[in-house]
Amino acid sequence: MDRLDGHIVCEGLVRIFKADGIEVVALQGLDLSVERGELLAIVGASGSGKSTLLNILSGLDTPTAGVARVAGVNLLGMSAATRLRYRRRTVGFVWQQTSRNLLPYLTAQENVALPMTLAGHARGRAARTRAGELLELVGIADCAERRPDQLSGGEQQRCAVAVAVANDPEVLFADEPTGELDEATAGEVFAALRTINAELGVTIVVVTHDRAVAGQVRRTVAIRDGRTASEVRRSARIGRDGVTETVTEEYAVLDRSGRLQLPAAFVDALSLRDRVRLNLEPDHVEVRSGDVEGRSGDTDATEERR
Ligand code: ADP
Ligand code: MG
C-alpha cells in the first residue's frame, strides 16, 4: 500500500478517553498520510481531536487502536526506552502557550542551545553558533541576548520553533502555535515555519483552529469529529498573462472503507437526511436525497424520480 510509505501515517486511528465511567471517542478511525518534507496544516473546530492527534504523534499519548507511524517508528506498543528516544531525537514540539516553550531565565540563544547540550549534540561555542544560525533562520537573530519576557509573543513562538528543531528532528509538531497571536504576528510565525521546512527539510504538522492558514501552506486537512473530513490543496500556476496565480482545490477525504463526509453546506442545501441515493455515472457519482415521498418544494431530486 503506497500510503503506508508516508513519513507520517495514521490509519483507522482511535483514541478513547475514559473519565468517571464516561467514554469520549476523541479520534474515531482517523486516516492521514504526510510525505517527508511536507508542511501540513490541520484545522478543525475546538474538540474535534486535533490536540489528541498531535499528542499521539509526538509520543506523549498512546492510541487505543489503529495504525500510527512516524519516521518508521510504530507508535503503538513502543517500549519506554524507545518512546524517550523518539521524543528526544525524532520529534520536536511547539505548544500554544508561549510560556511552555521557553525557560524564562535563559536568553533566546541559551534556550535554543540547551536541548543540544542536553542531548550531547553540541556544546559551548558550537552550540551557541548553531543556536545563532537557527535564530537567524526564524528571523530573530537580533533577539539572541534577550530573555523571553523581553520578546513579543510572535518572537517567543519563533524562538520556540528554533528550540524545537535544535536537535534536527525529522518531524516538527506545533499545536496552535499562533493561538494567542494577532493575524500579522501569526503570519510571521508561519513564515518561520515555512523557512525551517524549506531550509532544514523537516516535516511539519501545524494545528490551528484558524481556517485562514490555508492561505499559508500547500495542504490543509480538516478534522471533523475525530476523522479527517476534507482537504484543501494550493498550487501555483502561470496564467495566460504570465502572472503566477494560486489555484485552490478542495477535496473530500475518502477512507479505505469508501466512507466520505459531505460538507455541511451541501447537506443543508439539499436538506439531505438519514439516507441518500447514489448513482454511478461514467465519470462521477451522483448523490441525491433519499426521501421515499418527495417533500413539497423539494429540489429536482423529487421531480426526476419516477
Ligand atoms: P481539539 O484540540 O481539536 O480542540 P482535543 O483533541 O483536545 O480537541 O479533544 C477532543 C475530544 O477529546 C474532546 O471532546 C475532549 O473533551 C476530549 N478529551 C481530550 N483529552 C481528554 C482527556 N485527557 N480526558 C478525557 N477527554 C479528553
Ligand atoms: Mg487543542
Flag whether pLDDT at 212 surpasses 80: no
Which ligand neighbours the alpha carbon of 52 most closely? Answer: 1
Cα 294 from Cα 11, distance rounded (Å): 39
What type of residue is 281?
A: E
Give the predicted TM-score (pTM) of the model: 0.87
User: In testing the pocket of ligand 1, which one of 17, 23, 64 has its CB within 8 Å of the most ligand atoms?
Assistant: 17
Ligand 1 centroid distance, CA of 209 (Å): 14
- Contacts of 17 by beta carbon, 8 Å cutoff, 6+ apart: 23, 24, 26
pLDDT at 306: 42
Between 131 and 20, where is the model more confident? 131
| Nearest CA, atom 17, ligand 1 | 26
Antiparallel, parallel or unpaired: β 65-70 and 8-19? antiparallel
Which of ligand 1's atoms lies nearest the C-alpha of 223?
A: 3
List, for residues 106-116, the tens digit of each pLDDT value.
999 999 999 99
List, for residues 77-129, the tens digit of each pLDDT value.
899 999 999 998 899 999 988 888 999 999 999 999 999 998 888 888 999 99
pLDDT at 4: 54
107's grid cell: 536568553
Per-residue pLDDT averaged across 138-154, rounded? 96
- What structural domains and CATH numbers belong to the chain? 34-62+78-230 (3.40.50.300), 262-306 (no CATH)
List, for residues 217-270, the tens digit of each pLDDT value.
889 999 998 988 888 888 877 877 888 887 888 888 887 788 888 888 888 998
For ligand 1, is residue 15 a contact (CB within 6 Å)? no
Burial 64-96 (b: 16+ CB within 10 A, else e): bebebbbeebebeebeeeeeeebbeebbbbbbb
User: Is the CB of residue 30 less than 8 Å from the CB of residue 56?
Assistant: no
